[in-house]
Structure 1
């Protein structure tokens, strides 16, 4: 089973905590250095940047340049996690994929396609119901460049987040706690709180964290029920990619050359709670029916018992 994959290697909790600091923390430090360097270059050119305003910082360069600066650290973090697994845990990176022998790409693409279609539908409904809230933002050349950059970099960003939260931490905390609900709760909360510095939190308020924590629970549940990351990988990639391609706003983390720009004043409304209470449960049931999920209580709340031989000396590095 998925969490039990951790027992194939060296699985003391300190290794996972250190791994998160090295890979995820390292990627964020690199990102801070990149952004800091960009700010220095911009100020040296004589331009004034309000360092107290996150949105002003995000607009210091062309959106395509900023997209690269923001996403490259995540790609490096994914590479770091890949290189971390074998020497520190004694197992290949693929143990984070799933309990299956190989990554099931059909599941990745199915999840990507279904959430991509739903995302486009929601954007279209929003535009039809309130066209005055949107501004046509399409510029062929910048949009084409953004498409290429997004298709390459956004899946790396979202995959890193899935591998570190629903993969690495889920397995590490589960192996330590010896149950499934503790890693589900902890990784969902950490995933949500990770977004606390996003510009939209400052604009809407901390209530917006409910959406991120809710997404964390949804992705954690489908990972545990399906015994693998594939569905979460596809969903997360589609979510970020289609937002980047189709709609942006001055108050969001992703500033892109999207087709539409949301010019409405952000507020807390049905758009936060409707997906959590209606859309994600329905999508979970669709996945459950398609892939024949059973044993919900055991997979979400059951004990984690090693089903593989623990061949490694726990004190060994």
Structure 2
């Protein structure tokens, strides 16, 4: 049974997806946002102060950047918990079926992807610093940096896991059941993933051309998931990407405004680094992984149809007979 077919191990009525999406958004944005809201109010002067806090991303008004990062991640943790509850109690299936088609989660795949992308990200960032050293300022402060390191490694994977399991897991499987194919869910989840990043400050500074990177990255993660029949690789890549982004370089126009090692003071512009990952590095990584894991029948895995497993068809037929008999 392939990855998308794992959804057939539970209930898939359309209204259950609507209920679940509502609960996930409620847990993520409402319940998860309460600690951030309370903290913002405590560090502001009433409603006006809160508005000012929001405009400044809660930084520069007395809130430690590491605390702010943790509170932001906490929102995703509540979203992840809501997703787990929905899978278990609404869709009536095991959480593992959301992660992989294998009998158990393959953590070796996760860590392999994590290390590979961490190395690539560090090399790319280091090359950028060496090529334009005048744009970067060394910002190492022991206590804030090591606190950031701790928060990033312990909690950022929850944020990236929520995004992956929501888009490359829950929605990819759900749309697969709905459209009975693979390529439509891949396109939809990649585009929605990119559009949700449209609120990032990078998009405001660089323009909507930067959506090429976000949608392309979502497409990359989705392709990995379909070809490997599980999200382990995507989970590893995404976690490594965000951790390196948080601890290595920061700027006043990026989503991660942290006590990173370097501060980029250059004027933001669209350059080759925007398109290099999408059109060169991602395809190269897919090719490398296809050789390592022996992926076969790749065309069908990306464009093939989704069918109801035979065992599931028998269950549906039995239910239908019982209902008619009653």
The structure with the largest alpha-carbon Rg is 2
Tell me the CA shift for residue 16 of structure 1.
2.2
Tell me the CA shift for residue 34 of structure 1.
3.6
Conserved? CA contact 1:16–1:169, under 8 Å: no
Conserved? CA contact 1:13–1:173, under 8 Å: no
Tell me the CA shift for residue 124 of structure 1.
0.7
Conserved? CA contact 1:71–1:154, under 8 Å: yes
User: 1:202: which partner in 2?
Assistant: 204
| Greater RCO (CA < 8 Å, at least 6 residues apart) | 1
User: 1:173: which partner in 2?
Assistant: 175
User: 1:144: which partner in 2?
Assistant: 146
Conserved? CA contact 2:53–2:59, under 8 Å: no
User: 1:250: which partner in 2?
Assistant: 252
Give the distance between the partners of 1:9 and 1:142, measured in 2 at CA: 45
Alignment map for 1:220-231 (pairs within 5 Å): 220-231=222-233
Give the distance between the partners of 1:113 and 1:92, measured in 2 at CA: 28
Structure 2: any 5+ residue segments left out of the alignment? 321-326
Tell me the CA shift for residue 147 of structure 1.
1.0
Conserved? CA contact 2:137–2:262, under 8 Å: yes
Conserved? CA contact 1:8–1:309, under 8 Å: no
User: 1:289: which partner in 2?
Assistant: 291
Distance verdict in 2 for CA 1:210–1:29, change over 3 Å: farther
User: 2:31: which partner in 1?
Assistant: 30
Conserved? CA contact 2:32–2:77, under 8 Å: no
Query: In structure 2, the residue corresponding to 1:201 is in which secondary structure?
Result: helix
**What is the TM-score of this pair, normalised by structure 1?**
0.93
Give the distance between the partners of 1:127 and 1:243, measured in 2 at CA: 14
Deviations 1:231-254 (A, max 9, x none): 000000000011111111111111
Give the distance between the partners of 1:247 and 1:191, measured in 2 at CA: 23
**2:131 aligned with 1:129:** yes
Give the distance between the partners of 2:43 and 2:57, measured in 1 at CA: 12
Deviations 1:155-179 (A, max 9, x none): 0110011111000111011011100
Tell me the CA shift for residue 29 of structure 1.
2.3
**2:17 aligned with 1:16:** yes
Query: In structure 1, the residue corresponding to 2:309 is in which secondary structure?
Result: coil
Structure 1: any 5+ residue segments left out of the alignment? none
With 74-83 and 26-35 compared, the bigger mean Cα shift is at 26-35
**2:193 aligned with 1:191:** yes
Q: CA RMSD in A?
A: 2.1
**2:51 aligned with 1:40:** no
**What is the TM-score of this pair, normalised by structure 2?**
0.91
Give the distance between the partners of 2:151 and 2:53, measured in 1 at CA: 28
With 216-225 and 259-268 compared, the bigger mean Cα shift is at 259-268
Give the distance between the partners of 2:272 and 2:196, measured in 1 at CA: 23
Tell me the CA shift for residue 218 of structure 1.
0.4
Give the distance between the partners of 2:75 and 2:32, measured in 1 at CA: 5
Tell me the CA shift for residue 58 of structure 1.
4.3
User: 1:81: which partner in 2?
Assistant: 83
Aligned residues: 315
Query: In structure 2, the residue corresponding to 1:43 is in which secondary structure?
Result: coil
Give the distance between the partners of 1:213 and 1:299, measured in 2 at CA: 20
